[in-house]
Amino acid sequence: MYELSLRNGVVHAWVHIHFLVVGCLFCWATVGLDPVPHRVPYGARLMLVLFMVPFHAFLGLALMSTTAPLAADWYASLAGPWHPDALDDQRVGAGVMWLVGDATGLILGAIVATQWLRAEARRSRHLDRALDAAEARAQARARTSDEVPV
């Protein structure tokens, strides 16, 4: 698929569109602020984001440890004095993918954790107000029952 995307401009564009759309949908589902009917709980979203992190590391390490470049024929056809060694270029690209993917995952995880903490703080304030109001009503009822002559 990778080599096909190198040789065919339409496939290349669709692969990039696919990655962009999937990434946007993932971010929207995990850190999106838009109200949706059935939002996944914060704990599940945080776990989903953190489970994503090792996949970038695994793929990056796999590409960095290869002994031959992917699509070697394609890159050999591009050889020129300005092109780096294909294997070195692949290893640098794999390192960048690993670093950026993990950094993005950790940043998204921090955002979800922050959203979770803020939501819990709002929920706690709401619960405190409700308990304070119930206590005030109970005290008011107690006062009125004490003031009513028998």
How high is the pLDDT of residue 137? 92
pTM: 0.76
Contacts of residue 75, Cβ cutoff 8 Å, sequence gap at least 6: 69, 83, 86, 89
Q: Which of 65, 62, 57 is nearest to 106 (CA)?
A: 57
How high is the pLDDT of residue 1? 80
Query: How many degrees, rounded to 5, is the angle at CA 42 between CA 23 and CA 22?
Result: 10
The SS3 of residue 133 is: helix
The SS3 of residue 2 is: helix
Structure tokens at 84: 């780096």
How high is the pLDDT of residue 150? 55
Q: What is the pLDDT of residues 37-92, one digit of tens each?
A: 888 899 999 999 999 888 888 989 998 999 988 888 877 777 667 777 888 888 99
Residue 146 has pLDDT above 80, yes or no: no
